[in-house]
């Protein structure tokens, strides 16, 4: 069965930026490196997605000890530090990269939304080798991005074991 093209055709050779999902992991670093090797000096946005409030933080927010604590600002600060690290790695590899953050859960939604907002030519994400049971019940971020994105998605696998 032929694959239907998205309604908005994306030209990967245009000047639209590459969106790289970055969480600070070795897999995300590999995705940055692969994107740089494939797309050269192209413009890129390195995106770190963080939940607005984690379940542990929700308990903190409800306690009296957290008076005046802006958990979302803390999470955005962590995401910005990660995105900045990823953008620096991308620039070192030759991309013209900017850092962006998004506070949303699940992470795939933030990646897909930002890709739409910036008109990304392609989304690049790393992949972890999850156990099949994890994939069956939760699905990885890379899989969810590929299922929901309306543009090409490059999922960079882990290197083969030696």
Residue-wise pLDDT for 62-112, tens only, equals 555 555 567 777 788 899 999 999 999 999 999 999 999 999 999 999 999
User: Which pLDDT value is given to residue 114?
Assistant: 98
Q: What angle do CA 75, 78, 84 make, to 5 degrees?
A: 135
Mean pLDDT of 11-19: 78
pLDDT at 24 over 50: yes
Instruction: Report residue 8 as tokens.
Output: 């908005």
Distance CA 2, CA 86 (A): 36
Domain ranges of the chain: 44-120
pLDDT at 20 over 70: yes
Give the number of other Cβ atoms within 10 Å of residue 110's Cβ.
24
Confidence of residue 5 (pLDDT cuts 50, 70, 90): very low
């Amino acid at each position: 069965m032929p694959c239907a093209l998205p309604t908005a055709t994306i030209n990967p050779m245009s000047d639209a930026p590459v969106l790289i999902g970055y969480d600070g992991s070795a897999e995300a670093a590999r995705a940055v490196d692969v994107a740089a090797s494939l797309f050269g000096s192209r413009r890129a946005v390195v995106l770190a997605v963080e939940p607005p409030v984690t379940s542990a933080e929700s308990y903190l927010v409800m306690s009296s000890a957290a008076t005046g604590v802006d958990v979302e600002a803390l999470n955005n600060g962590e995401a910005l530090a990660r995105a900045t690290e990823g953008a620096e790695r991308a620039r070192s590899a030759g991309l013209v990269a900017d850092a962006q953050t998004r506070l949303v859960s699940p992470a795939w939604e933030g990646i897909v939304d930002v890709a739409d907002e910036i008109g990304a030519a392609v989304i690049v994400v790393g992949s972890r080798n999850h156990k099949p049971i994890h994939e069956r019940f939760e699905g990885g971020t890379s899989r969810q991005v590929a299922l929901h994105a309306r543009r090409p998605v490059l999922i960079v696998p882990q290197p083969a074991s030696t």
